[in-house]
Amino acid sequence: LSAHCLIDDDLEELLPQLKELRCLNISGIFGDNYDPGYCLLTNRGLETIATHCPKLQSLDVSHQPKVTSGGIQVVLENCSDLLELEATDIRIPPHEVKGILQLSNSLLCFRYDPHVGGVRSHEKYLVEDAMIATGGRTVVASFYQGLYEISLRGANEK
């Protein structure tokens, strides 16, 4: 379903029939050539996913500019088997990443870039602290910056 013009209503019609769905890619279009009106998926669509796809293990909602951290949180709260989440170019402020990662005990990989260029250098510590809060279970990757590095040595002593 990636790069197709999906709207929330499409998901509401389609997903009730796909309760066993494990992998869903509904990413939008990357780059300067996209029309923001083209990507009509919102947090309402993510709420539909959370309601109808409880067995989801992999989700890509990258490049959906109307999706926010609130929609991501609803998915993580309701899809307890989610292992991989791609949310590149989604409006998730770095200071919210820790709370998002702590919502899931199963998430292993979170691909995240809040904007072109990735997380700003003075905010990288927020992403690193988020990974440490999961005990290193969740790896955070960036299209622009690769894998974030952390050291768990001494993390439990804090």
Local structure of 54: helix, strand or coil: coil
User: Which amino acid is residue 16, in one-letter code?
Assistant: P
72, 18, 14: which is closest to 42 by C-alpha? Answer: 72
Question: For residues 35 and 100, what is the distance between their CA atoms, to the nearest angstrom?
Answer: 28
pLDDT the model gives residue 94:
94
Give the pLDDT band (50/70/90) at residue 33.
very low
Contacts for 157 with CB less than 8 Å, ≥ 6 apart: none
Tell me which of 79 and 35 has the higher pLDDT: 79
Give the pLDDT band (50/70/90) at residue 32.
very low
Residue 105 has pLDDT above 60, yes or no: yes
Give the pLDDT band (50/70/90) at residue 132.
very high
Question: For residues 99 and 154, what is the distance between their CA atoms, to the nearest angstrom?
Answer: 21
Local structure of 104: helix, strand or coil: coil
Token pair for 146: 């690769």
Residue 31 has pLDDT above 60, yes or no: no
Question: For residues 5 and 57, what is the distance between their CA atoms, to the nearest angstrom?
Answer: 23
99, 105, 48: which is closest to 71 by C-alpha? Answer: 48
pTM, to two decimals: 0.88
